[in-house]
Amino acid sequence: MRKDAPAKVYLGFSDPAGADYDLGDLDGQKRLMAERMAAGGWVIPQLVDHMMDADDFHFYRLSQVRMDSWSQGRVVLVGDAGYAVSLGTGQATSVAMLGAYVLAGELATHRDDPAAGAIAYENELRDYATRNQNTALEYDSKPGPPSGGEPSEAGSDGLPDFGSLTLPFHLKDYSVLVRP
């Protein structure tokens, strides 16, 4: 990596009430972020100073959408498209890969009826996806690093213990469905 390569920084804050901001007011978004980061320690004040001068600042609301169904006809949603967890828990890829595995297995199980396979996929994965979404909401609503219980304490490096946020799932063995 080059020593003079630009650094990108991502900052965020939790606001259960929903921050009020104008999508078209970039300076207002920067002020809102600066206000929310005002109590930050370490290098946060320097990052905020750089943010105020940045010409590539981007601000958006991270939301969680819960859908009643992940499929319609032969179209099926997997991962963030159907059951986004959260950037904060580090589980999106894991949940998406598990979803892809279950979808493939259920489509193979119901090879003559893809719609039934999609319904079986939802039935198999719905509780797991919902539990992950709930964990994300619990984690995201806590100020600073998680404290006690689920999710577990941050590690000695101050980063969340993402392993503790991983929820168990019993994988079905779909290998019997593989054609020789």
| pLDDT tens, position by position, 125-169 | 999 999 989 888 877 666 544 333 343 445 555 566 777 778 889
Say yes or no: 56 and 90 in one domain: no
Measure Cα distances from 18 to 13, 29, 55 in Å. Answer: 10, 13, 25
Query: What is the tally of structural domains in the chain?
Result: 2
Question: Looking at residue 79, what is its pLDDT?
Answer: 94
Say yes or no: 78 and 56 in one domain: no
Say yes or no: 113 and 47 in one domain: no
**pLDDT tier for residue 118 given thresholds of 50, 70 and 90:** very high
Instruction: Say if 15 falls within a structural domain.
Output: yes
Say yes or no: 99 and 31 in one domain: no
Say yes or no: 83 and 161 in one domain: yes
Cβ atoms of 107 and 78 within 8 Å: the answer is no
The domain of 31 spans 1-61
Which of 2-6, 19-23, 92-96, 137-141 is the most confident on average?
92-96
Say yes or no: 77 and 143 in one domain: yes
Question: Looking at residue 140, what is its pLDDT?
Answer: 62
Instruction: Say if 66 falls within a structural domain.
Output: no
Cβ atoms of 122 and 69 within 8 Å: the answer is yes
Question: Looking at residue 44, what is its pLDDT?
Answer: 93
Higher per-residue confidence, 18 vs 83: 83
Domain boundary among 37, 61, 85: 61
Instruction: Say if 29 falls within a structural domain.
Output: yes
Higher per-residue confidence, 49 vs 3: 49
Instruction: Say if 105 falls within a structural domain.
Output: yes
Say yes or no: 80 and 55 in one domain: no
Instruction: Say if 95 falls within a structural domain.
Output: yes
Please write the tens of the pLDDT for every residue from 58-104. Answer: 998 877 879 999 999 889 999 999 998 876 677 889 999 999 999 99
Say yes or no: 91 and 143 in one domain: yes
Say yes or no: 171 and 118 in one domain: yes
Q: Can you give the pTM of this predicted structure?
A: 0.70
Say yes or no: 119 and 150 in one domain: yes
Domain boundary among 61, 82, 101: 61
Say yes or no: 160 and 104 in one domain: yes
Find residue 71's DSSP bridge partners.
Answer: 76
Say yes or no: 168 and 138 in one domain: yes
